[in-house]
Structure 1
Amino acid sequence: MSEQSDAAVGDQIKAKLEAALAPISIEVIDESHKHAGHAHAVMRPGTASGSGGTHFQVKVVSEAFKGKSRVDRHRTINTLLQHELNAGVHALAIDAKAPGE
Protein backbone atom coordinates (compact mmCIF):
# COMPACT_ATOMS: atom_id res chain seq x y z
CA MET A 1 0.00 0.00 0.00
CA SER A 2 1.38 3.39 -0.91
CA GLU A 3 1.59 6.15 1.66
CA GLN A 4 -0.84 9.04 1.22
CA SER A 5 -0.86 12.37 3.01
CA ASP A 6 -3.97 13.58 4.81
CA ALA A 7 -4.47 16.21 2.12
CA ALA A 8 -4.28 13.57 -0.60
CA VAL A 9 -7.00 11.48 1.08
CA GLY A 10 -9.24 14.53 1.48
CA ASP A 11 -8.56 15.61 -2.11
CA GLN A 12 -9.38 12.11 -3.34
CA ILE A 13 -12.66 12.11 -1.40
CA LYS A 14 -13.58 15.53 -2.81
CA ALA A 15 -12.68 14.57 -6.40
CA LYS A 16 -14.78 11.39 -6.29
CA LEU A 17 -17.80 13.18 -4.88
CA GLU A 18 -17.48 16.04 -7.37
CA ALA A 19 -17.24 13.64 -10.31
CA ALA A 20 -20.24 11.55 -9.25
CA LEU A 21 -22.56 14.15 -7.74
CA ALA A 22 -21.80 17.45 -9.55
CA PRO A 23 -22.41 19.28 -6.28
CA ILE A 24 -23.51 22.89 -5.96
CA SER A 25 -21.25 23.05 -2.92
CA ILE A 26 -18.87 20.64 -1.24
CA GLU A 27 -16.61 20.77 1.77
CA VAL A 28 -14.33 17.99 2.98
CA ILE A 29 -12.93 18.60 6.46
CA ASP A 30 -10.10 16.49 7.87
CA GLU A 31 -10.84 15.94 11.56
CA SER A 32 -8.13 13.32 12.06
CA HIS A 33 -6.10 15.53 14.40
CA LYS A 34 -8.89 15.16 16.97
CA HIS A 35 -8.28 11.41 17.03
CA ALA A 36 -4.48 11.14 16.83
CA GLY A 37 -3.13 8.36 19.00
CA HIS A 38 -6.33 6.31 19.00
CA ALA A 39 -5.77 2.62 18.38
CA HIS A 40 -7.26 2.60 14.86
CA ALA A 41 -5.04 5.55 13.84
CA VAL A 42 -1.88 3.99 15.22
CA MET A 43 -2.56 0.74 13.37
CA ARG A 44 -3.43 2.39 10.03
CA PRO A 45 -0.93 1.32 7.37
CA GLY A 46 1.01 4.15 5.78
CA THR A 47 0.81 6.63 8.62
CA ALA A 48 3.62 7.55 10.97
CA SER A 49 2.63 7.40 14.63
CA GLY A 50 -1.04 7.31 13.70
CA SER A 51 -1.05 10.69 12.01
CA GLY A 52 -4.29 11.69 10.28
CA GLY A 53 -6.23 10.75 7.21
CA THR A 54 -8.69 8.67 9.21
CA HIS A 55 -11.59 10.99 10.13
CA PHE A 56 -13.42 13.25 7.70
CA GLN A 57 -16.55 15.35 7.63
CA VAL A 58 -18.27 15.82 4.28
CA LYS A 59 -20.80 18.57 3.61
CA VAL A 60 -22.35 18.36 0.16
CA VAL A 61 -25.32 19.94 -1.59
CA SER A 62 -26.36 18.25 -4.83
CA GLU A 63 -29.38 17.88 -7.09
CA ALA A 64 -28.60 14.14 -6.95
CA PHE A 65 -30.08 14.07 -3.44
CA LYS A 66 -33.43 15.57 -4.43
CA GLY A 67 -36.23 13.25 -3.32
CA LYS A 68 -33.85 10.85 -1.55
CA SER A 69 -34.02 9.94 2.11
CA ARG A 70 -31.17 10.68 4.49
CA VAL A 71 -30.29 6.98 4.54
CA ASP A 72 -30.16 6.81 0.72
CA ARG A 73 -27.93 9.89 0.61
CA HIS A 74 -25.52 8.35 3.10
CA ARG A 75 -25.53 5.03 1.24
CA THR A 76 -24.69 6.85 -2.00
CA ILE A 77 -21.70 8.59 -0.45
CA ASN A 78 -20.50 5.47 1.39
CA THR A 79 -20.67 3.49 -1.86
CA LEU A 80 -18.72 6.16 -3.76
CA LEU A 81 -16.04 6.20 -1.05
CA GLN A 82 -15.86 2.45 -0.42
CA HIS A 83 -12.20 2.30 -1.49
CA GLU A 84 -11.21 5.05 0.97
CA LEU A 85 -13.19 3.44 3.77
CA ASN A 86 -11.48 0.11 3.11
CA ALA A 87 -8.06 1.80 2.86
CA GLY A 88 -8.04 3.44 6.28
CA VAL A 89 -10.71 6.13 6.56
CA HIS A 90 -12.16 5.16 9.92
CA ALA A 91 -14.96 7.70 10.28
CA LEU A 92 -16.99 9.73 7.83
CA ALA A 93 -19.53 12.30 9.07
CA ILE A 94 -21.96 13.12 6.29
CA ASP A 95 -24.16 16.17 5.82
CA ALA A 96 -25.85 15.61 2.44
CA LYS A 97 -28.58 17.93 1.24
CA ALA A 98 -30.54 18.81 -1.86
CA PRO A 99 -30.61 22.48 -2.95
CA GLY A 100 -32.94 24.56 -0.80
CA GLU A 101 -32.69 22.34 2.28
Structure 2
Amino acid sequence: MTGPIAQEIAQRLTAALAPTQLEIVNDSAHHAGHMGDDGTGESHFTIHIESAQFEGVSRLQRQRMVNAALGDIPGERVHALAIKARAPGE
Protein backbone atom coordinates (compact mmCIF):
# COMPACT_ATOMS: atom_id res chain seq x y z
CA MET A 1 0.00 0.00 0.00
CA THR A 2 1.62 3.21 -1.10
CA GLY A 3 -0.47 5.44 -3.34
CA PRO A 4 -3.04 8.04 -2.30
CA ILE A 5 -6.06 5.87 -3.13
CA ALA A 6 -4.66 2.93 -1.14
CA GLN A 7 -4.03 5.27 1.79
CA GLU A 8 -7.57 6.64 1.57
CA ILE A 9 -8.97 3.09 1.48
CA ALA A 10 -7.03 2.29 4.66
CA GLN A 11 -8.20 5.47 6.39
CA ARG A 12 -11.86 4.94 5.54
CA LEU A 13 -11.86 1.26 6.57
CA THR A 14 -10.03 2.02 9.80
CA ALA A 15 -12.49 4.77 10.72
CA ALA A 16 -15.61 2.75 9.88
CA LEU A 17 -14.74 -0.82 10.84
CA ALA A 18 -11.87 -0.63 13.37
CA PRO A 19 -10.07 -3.60 11.80
CA THR A 20 -7.83 -5.84 13.87
CA GLN A 21 -5.98 -6.69 10.65
CA LEU A 22 -5.93 -4.81 7.37
CA GLU A 23 -3.92 -5.44 4.23
CA ILE A 24 -4.48 -3.59 0.98
CA VAL A 25 -2.82 -5.20 -2.02
CA ASN A 26 -2.46 -3.17 -5.20
CA ASP A 27 -3.10 -5.59 -8.08
CA SER A 28 -3.05 -2.90 -10.76
CA ALA A 29 0.23 -4.00 -12.37
CA HIS A 30 -1.40 -7.33 -13.27
CA HIS A 31 -4.04 -5.44 -15.25
CA ALA A 32 -1.89 -2.88 -17.08
CA GLY A 33 -3.25 -2.25 -20.54
CA HIS A 34 -6.51 -4.09 -19.84
CA MET A 35 -10.01 -2.68 -19.54
CA GLY A 36 -10.32 -0.61 -16.38
CA ASP A 37 -6.65 0.36 -16.26
CA ASP A 38 -6.74 4.13 -16.02
CA GLY A 39 -2.97 4.55 -16.02
CA THR A 40 -2.78 5.72 -12.41
CA GLY A 41 -1.39 2.45 -11.11
CA GLU A 42 -4.28 2.33 -8.61
CA SER A 43 -7.16 0.71 -10.48
CA HIS A 44 -7.35 -2.82 -8.98
CA PHE A 45 -7.05 -3.81 -5.30
CA THR A 46 -7.52 -6.77 -3.01
CA ILE A 47 -8.55 -5.94 0.55
CA HIS A 48 -7.94 -8.39 3.39
CA ILE A 49 -9.78 -7.14 6.46
CA GLU A 50 -10.56 -8.63 9.86
CA SER A 51 -12.99 -6.84 12.16
CA ALA A 52 -15.08 -7.74 15.18
CA GLN A 53 -17.95 -5.96 13.42
CA PHE A 54 -18.14 -8.92 11.03
CA GLU A 55 -19.04 -11.42 13.78
CA GLY A 56 -22.35 -13.10 12.99
CA VAL A 57 -22.62 -11.24 9.69
CA SER A 58 -23.00 -12.96 6.30
CA ARG A 59 -20.33 -12.71 3.62
CA LEU A 60 -22.60 -10.54 1.49
CA GLN A 61 -23.32 -8.15 4.34
CA ARG A 62 -19.58 -7.89 5.10
CA GLN A 63 -18.96 -6.88 1.48
CA ARG A 64 -21.72 -4.29 1.74
CA MET A 65 -20.21 -2.90 4.95
CA VAL A 66 -16.80 -2.53 3.29
CA ASN A 67 -18.30 -0.92 0.19
CA ALA A 68 -20.36 1.48 2.32
CA ALA A 69 -17.23 2.51 4.22
CA LEU A 70 -15.41 3.15 0.94
CA GLY A 71 -18.12 5.44 -0.44
CA ASP A 72 -17.29 6.67 -3.95
CA ILE A 73 -14.05 4.70 -4.31
CA PRO A 74 -15.41 1.43 -5.78
CA GLY A 75 -16.72 1.82 -9.30
CA GLU A 76 -15.87 5.50 -9.61
CA ARG A 77 -12.23 5.84 -8.60
CA VAL A 78 -11.19 2.17 -8.58
CA HIS A 79 -12.17 -0.25 -11.32
CA ALA A 80 -12.07 -3.49 -9.30
CA LEU A 81 -11.96 -4.55 -5.65
CA ALA A 82 -11.65 -8.06 -4.27
CA ILE A 83 -12.79 -8.11 -0.65
CA LYS A 84 -11.78 -10.84 1.79
CA ALA A 85 -13.52 -9.99 5.06
CA ARG A 86 -13.49 -12.10 8.20
CA ALA A 87 -14.21 -11.88 11.90
CA PRO A 88 -11.42 -12.53 14.44
CA GLY A 89 -10.76 -16.23 14.83
CA GLU A 90 -12.08 -17.23 11.41
**Structure 2 matches for 1:72-83, cutoff 5 A?**
72-83=61-72
Residue matched to 1:33: 29
Q: Distance in 2 between matches of 1:51 and 1:20?
A: 26
Q: Distance in 1 between matches of 2:36 and 2:50?
A: 30
> Contact 1:33–1:51 at 8 Å: present in 2 too?
no
Match of 2:76 among 67, 87, 91: 87
Q: Distance in 2 between matches of 1:37 and 1:65?
A: 36
Secondary structure, in 3 states, of the residue corresponding to 2:23? strand
Code of the residue aligned with 1:16 in structure 2: it is R
Aligned length: 89
Q: Does 1:8 align with 2:7?
A: no
Q: Which has the larger radius of gyration?
A: 1
Q: Does 1:61 align with 2:57?
A: no
Q: Normalising by structure 1, what TM-score?
A: 0.82
TM-superposed deviation, 1:86? 4.0
TM-superposed deviation, 1:96? 0.4
Structure 2 residues without counterparts, runs of 5 or longer:
none
Structure 1 residues without counterparts, runs of 5 or longer:
1-5, 45-49
TM-superposed deviation, 1:83? 1.0
More helix by share: 1
Q: Deviations over 1:11-60 (max 9, x none)?
A: 1001100011111110011100100111321xx3xxxxx24111000001
Alignment identity in percent? 42
